[in-house]
Structure 1
Amino acid sequence: MDHAVLDHIDLLAIVTLMSVIQNIFFAYKVEIESKNQHSKSFQRTGSLAFEKVYTANQNCIDAYPTFLALLWCAGVFCSQTLAAFAGLMFLFVRQKYFVGYLGEKTQSTPGYIFGKRIIFFLFAMSVAGILNHYLVIFFGSDMEIYIKTVSGTFSPLLLIP
């Protein structure tokens, strides 16, 4: 593969692999809790602990395709570094959500709200990057520097809970 292409996707690939490892961890937690039920087959209902782990895992799985699509779109069309940073923040927030969901459901709310903010940031980066791509094609005007500056300015705001 061309090294110039790899230079633009290496951080995205690392964050993607980290998210896969996190998914494996969540699935492992569901499996462990399923075995604690002393059941020979996997069931979707059971003890309260199992239902919490299963539901938390399912909620994380539901948001995963959207996260991956936005991560890669924002990274390819806008800024790999900022998208990777937002992706790492999303993984941290998703872990916080998962662990919070295992406690009281109100403990998962901050992780959920924070995750929505990160998804919106990745979406905004994706839209800005794609619009810039078409501005270059149709009008020859490149706004990439401005988009990266604005994205870089707003990215630290992702750290505020």
Structure 2
Amino acid sequence: MVTVVVVENIFLLVIVTLFSVLQNAFFATKVEREGKVQNTQTSAFKRVSCANRNCMDSYPTFLAVMWCAGLCLNQAPAAFAGLIYLVARQKYFVGYMGQTSQSTPGYMFGKRVLSFLFVMCIVGILNFLLMRYIGNDYKETVEMITNAASTLLLIP
């Protein structure tokens, strides 16, 4: 019974994490395919390789803030923001394969989503501290606000 409650509280985060793993595999496949098709010194290979490396550099930060936001505050808006981040990362990767300037919108969008997740983490931690040391629990109010605010991430 305890296992069901734990899984219930994290299953959306797990699903988004698995989607992100599939996306990483897709990116790696693109790099491998580009390396086999052409000489590894071509500009197309360098762009795909650089886009993959940039995505992998931000991946631990994404996972950390998404899981922290989901566990400390609410998994639904954190998972939704995680999915939006994956879309932004895909846009960044595909844009980088063209001209590097085409990747800027995806980068900026992803940065905004990471900022939202970071704020969710801070709010969740502050709410825990308020509840623990002062006795005031604002979790329901904050959850309502973050549920509504997460839809604002869709605005470009």
Normalising by structure 1, we get a TM-score of 0.93
Unaligned runs of 5+ in 1: 39-44
**Equivalent-residue separation in structure 2 for 1:138 and 1:52 (angstroms):** 51
Are positions 1:46 and 2:47 aligned together? Answer: no
**Aligned runs of 1:63-78 on 2, under 5 Å?**
63-78=58-73
* Aligned equivalent of 2:108: 113
* Aligned equivalent of 1:88: 83
Structure 1 letter corresponding to 2:3: D
Query: Which of 123, 131, 134 is equivalent to 1:128?
Result: 123
Q: CA RMSD in A?
A: 1.1
* Aligned equivalent of 1:42: none
- Number of positions where the alignment pairs a residue of Structure 1 with one of Structure 2: 155
Q: Deviations over 1:15-52 (max 9, x none)?
A: 000000000000011111111235xxxxxx61000000
SS of the equivalent of 2:126 reads: helix
CA drift at 1:156: 1.5
Are positions 1:29 and 2:30 aligned together? Answer: yes
**Equivalent-residue separation in structure 1 for 2:151 and 2:101 (angstroms):** 26
**Equivalent-residue separation in structure 2 for 1:129 and 1:50 (angstroms):** 42
SS of the equivalent of 2:65 reads: helix
Query: Which of 84, 92, 95 is equivalent to 1:97?
Result: 92
**Equivalent-residue separation in structure 2 for 1:141 and 1:7 (angstroms):** 25
Paired-residue identity, %: 54
8 A contact 2:47–2:96 mirrored in 1: yes
Normalising by structure 2, we get a TM-score of 0.96
Higher helix share: 2
SS of the equivalent of 2:90 reads: helix
8 A contact 2:70–2:78 mirrored in 1: yes
